[in-house]
Amino acid sequence: MRTKPRWGWLGRQKTKAASWQPPAVRARAVRGVDRERSARGTGDNGAACFCAARLPGGVFLQGENGTDQAGRAPFRHLLVPDRRAVHGRRPDRLLPVLPGRSASRGDGLAPRRAAAVPQERVQAAARVRAARSVPLGRAGALREAPVPDRLRGQRGAAVKKAERACGGAAGGPRVGYVLKVFPRVSETFVINELRALEALGERPLVFSLHHNPDGAVRHGILAALKAPVTYVEDRLPDEQEVGRLRKRLARELGVSAELRDRILPRKYVRLAMALAALAERCGIEHFHAHFASRAAHVAALAAALRGIGYSVTAHAKDIYHEEVDREVLRWKIERARFVVTVTDYNVRYLRRLVGDGGEAAAKIVRVYNGVDLGRFTPAEFPRQQTPLVLGVGRLVEKKGFHVLLEACRLLADRGVKMRCELIGDGAERPALEEQRERLRLADIVTLRGSLTTEEVGERLREAYLVALPCVVARDGNVDALPTVLLEAMACGRPVVSTRLSGIPEIVEDGRTGRLVAPGSAVELADALAELLSDPSRAAAMGRAGRARVERLFDLHRNAARIRDMFRAGRALAEDR
């Protein structure tokens, strides 16, 4: 029975009859013309020990001593890259053995010296070849075929580019952080977690699926981040390869026909193909995705392609939004090594989703987002003639700033002296500006727009208190563990928020601040007036809040827990 080696996205290639091969290929291979440029290596499952010679039309492979490693029938392949990869290449240069397609009599790709084409097409082809690198592996996983050492030593521009993307040559196992977009102005908790892991000796890499459509982020803490950021959408493979791989993934992952389009959408499979190739080059042995939506989905597929593990940190919108597919979310949780979420409230919800008491529920753990206690430090409590009430967050419905403006109108009508400042930007800004004008609050409420995290820290120290009256948005979106409340308490400021989701896990009502009913402007105005009228009590709440943050929300202590879970996952993988 003729051997059928597995190569590239195409799976099992048709084995050519031993009696035929293209004349130019046979002549050069038999004479050993490029023998000094050949290399030996073992293919997947030990079934493809070969010699490889770089020919004008591709890479010619022949089993050692005319047979495969197991001593079975001989095989000969000419692995031909995409046409663009052939054009403009010197025929005597050795290419890495990358996936292509077997030559046949009628495919018209016999070895030849092709005319040169524009350099940008050659570079585009190089990116495509770099992404095509994930053949089928053992035990139902999809793994990278090993490339011979001598071929790995060919340090071309593509290899050097990959090493730059990896922050230098790969040296030891690493964790790849996967996010839909990185960095984002509002997601400082991800930046802080990465910095804390680096301080603990980890060397994470960041894979951002897409560029930030809002442009550059100006946070100063980014300058201290060593982890390089690679944008996956810049390295996408050919669209034509996606369909073939989807079929194989559906088979290997046991995805039913009903769920296929939801678990294997083409755009996610394409991103996963590119991510898996990048991970192989960078020595990634584990993916960790922030947000259980697109980032976790692509990480799950790429982990299957690479035969490695992945984990997820679930937050709020990614699990509560009305568009979340609960069946797909359950699938992602069940396949993950572990799932971190940021509140006990979330833990209870997710365990109910996958079934309390089951194996999937047991791997869902709570790790609070942390705050950098060295950056957010207490300042002397302000004694202001007109106290500053500060609101910080994206200007979106779930933050409840429209309720805060209503409360400001009630306080003004009662004659309470105060001024309010909103920091942030978002889709609700025009509506909030219109509401401010309608309520005649132009002299009381200021919309500052987006600021850096360093500038926010300065404003927190100048504030009398921080208000964040969160609500459940009409699309089901809700805040889980608002970072600004942690930062305000770290700065020794009392906070006023709502009894919603994980917020009561941050704020002890009456001790570190006040909690009111979501959406109630009257209750919010009463709580604000209570603290504004009693500076001594407000200052005491600020001190209690700092102590609570030190006990439960220390960034470095909480990041160490995540580091330990990464290491435990590595040990488990090695045992297997």
Cα separation, 143 vs 250, in Å, equals 16
Tokens 């995705």 — which residue? 289
User: What does DSSP say about strands 388-392 and 364-366: parallel, antiparallel, or unpaired?
Assistant: unpaired
Q: Are 339 and 349 in contact (CB under 8 A)?
A: no
Please tell me the predicted confidence (pLDDT) of residue 160: 54
Among 55, 284, 251, 38, CA closest to 142:
251
Q: Note the CATH number of domain 388-552.
A: 3.40.50.2000
Low-confidence ranges of the chain (pLDDT < 50): 1-117, 127-159, 169-171
CATH class of 160-370+558-575: alpha beta
DSSP assignment of 498-562 equals: ES-TTGGGT--BTTTEEEE-TT-HHHHHHHHHHHHT-HHHHHHHHHHHHHHHHHH-BHHHHHHHH
Residues 437-470 as b/e (b if ≥16 CB within 10 A, e otherwise) read eebebeebbebbebbbbeebbebbbebbbbbbbb
3-state helix, strand, coil in the chain (%, to 5): 45, 15, 40
CA distances from 37 to 54, 154, 405, 540 (A): 8, 11, 73, 76
Among 545, 542, 527, CA closest to 380:
542
- Three-class SS of residue 345? helix
- Three-class SS of residue 325? coil
Q: How far apart are the first and last CA of the chain?
A: 32
Q: Are 208 and 182 in contact (CB under 8 A)?
A: yes
Tokens 């259980």 — which residue? 292
Cα separation, 55 vs 342, in Å, equals 55
DSSP assignment of 232-274 equals: GGGG---THHHHHHHHHHHHHHT--TTTHHHHS-HHHHHHHHH
User: What does DSSP say about strands 364-366 and 338-341: parallel, antiparallel, or unpaired?
Assistant: parallel
371 HSE (CA, 13 A, CB side)? 27
- Contacts with 27 (C-beta within 8 Å, 6 or more apart), sequence order: 33
Question: What pTM does this model have?
Answer: 0.73
518 HSE (CA, 13 A, CB side)? 15
Q: Please, which residues bridge with residue 162 across strands?
A: none
Asked if the domains at 160-370+558-575 and 388-552 fall in one CATH topology, the answer is yes
Cα separation, 40 vs 456, in Å, equals 58
Cα separation, 392 vs 555, in Å, equals 20
Q: Are 466 and 493 in contact (CB under 8 A)?
A: yes
Please tell me the predicted confidence (pLDDT) of residue 256: 87
Residues belonging to the chain: 576
Where are the domains positioned within the chain? 8-154, 160-370+558-575, 388-552
Q: Are 516 and 459 in contact (CB under 8 A)?
A: no
What digits encode the pLDDT tens for the residues 377-402? 999 999 888 999 999 999 999 999 99
Type of residue found at 340:
V
Among 16, 59, 274, 18, CA closest to 148:
59
CA–centroid distance for 48 within its chain:
34
What digits encode the pLDDT tens for the residues 503-556? 999 999 999 999 999 999 999 999 999 999 999 999 999 999 999 999 999 999
Cα separation, 117 vs 189, in Å, equals 46
